Amino acid sequence: MPITNKEARDIKDIVNYYLSEDEAKEMFGELVEEVADVTENDSVKQSILMLNKLYANDASGPKLFE
């Protein structure tokens, strides 16, 4: 099961404590390429893609999922 919207936002908050927004965007972009695009584990893939999308949207952007 992929992560929930709240879990994704909580993870983003924690990542942002340690990394700048640009560093986090770069990290999640690499995770998409190196993990999400090659894994057969759909839950891992969807979770990484959700987190990556959070960084692609600005704070006022649409909700990723319900």
- Cβ(48)–Cβ(18) under 8 Å? no
Cα 30 to Cα 45: distance, rounded to the nearest angstrom? 13
Is the model's pLDDT at 59 over the cut of 70? no
Q: Give 10-57 pLDDT, tens digit per residue.
A: 999 999 999 999 999 999 999 999 999 999 999 999 999 999 999 887
29 lies in some domain: yes
The answer to the question of residue 63 being in a domain is: no
Half-sphere exposure of 11 (CA within 13 A, CB side): 16
Q: What is the pLDDT of residue 66?
A: 47
Residue 65: inside a domain: no
The pLDDT score that the predictor gives to residue 22 is 93
Distance separating alpha carbons of residues 11 and 48, to the nearest angstrom: 11
Closest CA to 8 of 37, 46, 38, 61: 46
Q: What's the domain range around 17?
A: 5-56
Domain count, the chain: 1
Residue 61 lies in a domain: no
